[in-house]
A and B are shown apart, each in its own frame.
Chain A
Amino acid sequence: MTYNAIKIVKGKAGWGGPLIIKPDEKRNKVLSVTGGGIDPVSRKVAELTGCEVVDGFATTIPDDEVFVAVVDCGGTARCGVYPKKGVYTINLTPVGQSGPLAQYIKEDIYVSGVKPEDVTLAEEGATISQAAKATEEKSSSSKAKAAPADEKKSSFIVRMGKAVGGVVGKFFAAGRQTVQMVINNILPFMAFVSMLIGIISESGIGNVIAEAIAPVSGSLPGLLIVCIICALPFLSPILGPGAVIAQVVGVFLGVEIGKGNIPPQYALPALFAINPQVGCDFIPVGLSLGEAEPETVEIGVPAVLFSRVITGPISVVIAWLFSFGLY
């Protein structure tokens, strides 16, 4: 079987790429981890290259058989997991280097905002990118070789200096990691939230929303209904990505609690009612991070989705019981 090389460019507002890549005998499967079946981009990639498409929500395959992973990540987890593993990644959402694994998201392995028309056959003679995995391994092995050279017996003061330096270095690294996190993830979300709150509270839309939301979220039955809807197995994987929906709804409810439209004792049950879908978009990836077998993923995805229908409403009731005597 011969495979064709393809070129994938970033879409509007996308980031990374272009990737010019070709499957080989081993890496010849397109892994579609997008929730709600196989997406058009995976299909296009498979069609052009001659690869097979695998629905990541139905099963999983070893990482070294994945030619390219297609995700629709909102910027937290999936967009970084595959680049970290050294797998070419196409993100359908236009997300750049973000999330806790942002450091692994590089132009030569990741491209985002991709639409089917951004995937084309590579022109003849175009240079094919090398699998990022190989280069990564090389650099780490050269580092490992260099390390033992300076391990000589040194005096007490030198050793103490090194130890203190090591600790200070760790503090500094922790600080840098934190600030990076704030810039990459927290500040952009704050900007987005502020814009929403500004428009909603000043334009009068807020009053309309309040009239619709407040009666629902200011009572236990109302919260249970919200929770059951969010936990429906066909909705929960769609509502999950990046926890964006849960976060936006959380901000809405916060504004209404602040205005006094929702009593504060409903804050705790609400935290669970708006979030029974947490991680439902991420089950196959999360399981493969835990080195689960394909058979486990096949069973694990529906098991977790069904479990949420039962445990979602239970969590709201427990939270409601625990909210007595709080405010």
Chain B
Amino acid sequence: MDFLAKLAESFIGLFNAGGATFMGLVTGIIPTLVVLITFVNSIIMLIGEDKVEGFAKKMTGNFITRYTVFPVLAMFFLTNPMAYSFGKFLDEKYKPAFYDAAVSFAHPITGLFPHGNAGELFVWLGIAQGITELGLSTAGLAVRYFIVGVIVIFIRGIVTERITLMMMARKEVN
């Protein structure tokens, strides 16, 4: 009998621990998140998509802003997954590289601007939780995640553009 009672206790213990974690996530993360996302969403609505589009189009001309500012704007204002529709402003040969750059920014943006991909926060939040547990600040990590993210999407854009151009040229020959 004792054994069964112990078993029941440790069984429910699993879920008590889970419940405590859930409580921590809900009270620790959601309140700020809701207010922050509401704020950013209202800004986006007030500015309006067409104004952003006009500005974003100017960023497509050279290869530096095409794979840095342009995808970052797309992800910030249109969020995942509608951000990829900005590909329509580009020539066919740049579209795969732009998609690669934009989608690779879907998680680095969440450290500072969780609205950008609110459905997939736990890539960032999971690791950030561990840092919080140690009593350290996550702000520095979030900023660096964003900066490294921009550098990485820039490199990805260039590499994918090269590969795309190479494959297109080879197809032409065949």
Contacts and interface: CB of A to CB of B under 8 A. Distances in A.
21 contacts: A77-B81, A190-B22, A190-B26, A194-B18, A195-B18, A247-B123, A257-B127, A258-B133, A262-B130, A264-B131, A272-B148, A279-B106, A285-B81, A287-B96, A290-B87, A290-B88, A290-B95, A291-B87, A308-B100, A311-B155, A315-B148
Contacts of A256: 130
Interface of A: 75-77, 80-81, 98-101, 167, 170-171, 173-175, 177-179, 181-182, 185-187, 189-191, 193-199, 201-203, 242-243, 246-260, 262, 264, 267-268, 270-272, 274-275, 278-279, 282-283, 285-287, 289-293, 295-296, 299-304, 306-308, 310-311, 314-315, 318-319, 322-323, 326-327
Main secondary structure of the interface of B (DSSP, over half): helix
A181 B36 CA distance: 13
Interface in B77-126: 79-82, 84-88, 90, 92-93, 95-100, 102-104, 106-108, 115, 118-126
B82 A289 contact: yes
Contacts of A80: 81
Interface in B123-174: 123-134, 136, 140-141, 144-145, 147-148, 151-152, 155-156, 159-160, 163-164, 167-168, 171
A296 B38 contact: no
B144 A323 contact: yes
A99 B168 CA distance: 34
Chain B interface size, under 10 / 10 to 19 / 20 to 34 / 35 or more: 35 or more
Main secondary structure of the interface of A (DSSP, over half): helix
Contact of A286 (B103, B140, B164): B103
Interface of B: 10, 13-22, 25-26, 29-30, 33-34, 37-39, 41-42, 44-46, 79-82, 84-88, 90, 92-93, 95-100, 102-104, 106-108, 115, 118-134, 136, 140-141, 144-145, 147-148, 151-152, 155-156, 159-160, 163-164, 167-168, 171
